[in-house]
Structure 1
Amino acid sequence: MNNKLFYKKNGTGIPLILIHGFTGSHESFETSVRYLRQYFKVITIDMIGHGKSFDKNPNNYTFERSVQLIKDILIELNIKKTNLLGYSLGGRLALHFAINSSILINKLILCSTSPGIKDKSKRRDRQNSDSYLVNILLDQGIGGFVNYWESLSIWEPEKKLSNKIKKTMRKIRLNQNPLGLINSLNSQGQGIQRFLLKNLTKIQNKTLIFAGEKDNKYIKNSYEIQKNIKDSKVQIVPNSGHNLILENPIYIATKTKDFILKE
């Protein structure tokens, strides 16, 4: 990885960084970027362990290092302040970034984001389920893992998507490096991550929080986050489950554009 995250730039103007979720890549935002690049300098990154940002050293997968790697991108592009959107795992990274470096953010957008798990028993359960995913990656490789991953109930709403979108999404998942996903689960999984809710009061940025109307767990998470970030609001996304950026990309893009430019 050469101590850098892979990123791609599209458009000009006000900067907007987009961070994908687990098993995703910068390509996950392709539809949204086609719209957003008309209004912003859009920077899509590959999170560590994903896409073209593979790192074989498991010690390099902490959220703290990922925050620094995004700061390095800002320095490289001479960006003093950026808008930041994160989806799922990318949303949790965006929360870490905002808690650590609120001053570098203009507006914050969170999609299907959790602050972590407070209950110790539920944290252990999540650690066990993530360990199970690691074992599938070790035993069956990326193909077997993707087959299992796509069978999980959280992705049920994806079945209504066009075959073209589903094929693209599956290709992104199959192109992942198994070791990268293992390291990501072991260092950035929800069972390992510290519970962030009490730290969210440090975030002074205007914040928009998206949750799919069919994603009850993350609707609850979104309102928990909203209660702890002073200047924030929740937007429920119609006809959508967890994977908002693929299920309803133009809705997310237009609401994001309006939030940044008009509010």
Structure 2
Amino acid sequence: MHVLKTIFTVLFILLIAIIVHALFSVTMARIYLGRIDHDGEYITVGKEKLYIEVSGAGDPIILIHGFLGSHFDFESIVEELSTFRKVYAVDLPGFGLSRASLEGDYSRKGYADLVSALMHILNIDRADILGHSMGGEIALNLAYYYPERVKSLILVDSMGYSKMDFLSSLIEGNEFLNHVFMRYFFQTYMVQRFTFRQKLGDVSKFNREFFNLSFSLIDHVSPAFLYRLNSQNDSGALSERIGDIKSRTLIIWGEKDRIAPVADGERLKTDILGSELEIITGAGHLPMLEDPHLFLEKLKHFLN
């Protein structure tokens, strides 16, 4: 009886801690979501309304963020990049400030179809395509299925060779458990803060203000959308066909990336003939945030 009472007490305290943390997370997210600038516009593509920020003039470059990312991930490079390119920073459906209709195709291939359709609406025949992490895999799909759309390809710590699978089959296959896991654990403040720090090659570069703003957009993501995203997960499906991509390609990688190892960047360089690989020393999974000056230097050299 004493043991059962102890177990019950521990579980009760744990439940209270989870609820308190969830409430704290939501409160932080709401505070900082109000501080996010809404300088862009919404464009309807099929059933989806995409938030997009456009700046600069010149040849177009489209920036595609990664999983749980947004246009905000490119904040440190957009201003300078827009001095010599017309920059389109897009929030994919379900992420950032773009709510998902929950009726679309949210596979990597589906997102590539969407970007191609967006380009048609924007009257962009061809563009430089920069994709980070999951966005890199979407960019690979775009280059494979719509090569006429891609002037050049820039892959930043890109996914592409293996399936992104961080959920147990039990949680992944059950919408209710998926919702509980995402909302009360994965999307909470402390878990995302830990995850963000893991993405950095040098944790001393952790910027609390930037993270808080980013977290507000992560909290904004619907668990119902994440369930659908997981159910349509086709990551790694293109891995055996990457060698067929002919686009002029730059691969930028953080030397200390714990999420996507440098070996994946080296494999991309081998598979995509003529591609260039640039390693940013000391950086992790977010080299454009950790060393924007060097990142832009390598990007400018390639684009020019």
TM-score range, shorter chain: 0.7 to 0.9
Alpha-carbon offset, residue 135 of structure 1:
7.3
Alpha-carbon offset, residue 247 of structure 1:
2.2
Alpha-carbon offset, residue 145 of structure 1:
2.0
- State yes or no: 1:193 paired with 2:235: yes
- State yes or no: 1:43 paired with 2:84: no
* C-alpha distance in 1 between matches for 2:202 and 2:193: 9
Tell me which structure has the larger Cα radius of gyration. 2
- State yes or no: 1:84 paired with 2:129: yes
**SS of corresponding position for 2:147:** helix
- State yes or no: 1:205 paired with 2:247: yes
Q: Which has the higher contact order (CA 8 A, sep 6+)?
A: 1
Q: Contact 1:136–1:145 at 8 Å: present in 2 too?
A: no
Q: 1:155 aligns with which of 187, 199, 203?
A: 199
- Corresponding residue for residue 148 of structure 2: 103
Q: Contact 1:35–1:250 at 8 Å: present in 2 too?
A: no
Distance 1:25 1:198, change over 3 A: same
Distance 1:85 1:238, change over 3 A: same
Larger mean Cα displacement after TM superposition, 65-74 or 204-213: 65-74
Instruction: Give deviations 1:34-78, integer Å, cap 9, x for gaps.
Output: 111111000011112112332242552123321221112211221
Aligned pairs for 1:1-263 (under 5 A) are 2-57=47-102, 60-117=105-162, 126=166, 128=168, 131=172, 138-139=179-180, 142=183, 144-146=185-187, 147-152=190-195, 154-155=198-199, 157=201, 159-160=203-204, 161-188=206-233, 192-215=234-257, 217-261=260-304
Instruction: Give deviations 1:220-253, integer Å, cap 9, x for gaps.
Output: 1111111110120211112211122322233323
Alpha-carbon offset, residue 125 of structure 1:
6.4
Distance 1:150 1:135, change over 3 A: farther
Q: Contact 1:56–1:179 at 8 Å: present in 2 too?
A: no
Q: TM-score, normalised by structure 1?
A: 0.84
**SS of corresponding position for 1:6:** strand
Q: Contact 1:209–1:226 at 8 Å: present in 2 too?
A: yes
**Amino acid of the structure 2 residue aligned with 1:48:** P
Unmatched 5+ stretches in structure 2: 1-43
**Amino acid of the structure 2 residue aligned with 1:38:** T
Instruction: Give deviations 1:99-143, integer Å, cap 9, x for gaps.
Output: 1111211110001112222xxxxx5965638839x8776115546
**Amino acid of the structure 2 residue aligned with 1:155:** K
* C-alpha distance in 2 between matches for 1:166 and 1:6: 20
**SS of corresponding position for 2:57:** coil
**SS of corresponding position for 1:72:** helix
Distance 1:6 1:186, change over 3 A: same
Q: TM-score, normalised by structure 2?
A: 0.74
Larger mean Cα displacement after TM superposition, 155-164 or 213-222: 155-164
* C-alpha distance in 2 between matches for 1:182 and 1:47: 16
Q: In percent, how many aligned pairs have the same letter?
A: 26
Distance 1:21 1:135, change over 3 A: farther
**SS of corresponding position for 1:5:** strand
| Aligned residue pairs, count | 253
Unmatched 5+ stretches in structure 1: 118-122
- Corresponding residue for residue 120 of structure 1: none
* C-alpha distance in 2 between matches for 1:114 and 1:141: 22
**Amino acid of the structure 1 residue aligned with 2:284:** G
Alpha-carbon offset, residue 163 of structure 1:
2.5
Alpha-carbon offset, residue 5 of structure 1:
2.9
* C-alpha distance in 1 between matches for 2:172 and 2:274: 37
* C-alpha distance in 2 between matches for 1:240 and 1:213: 6
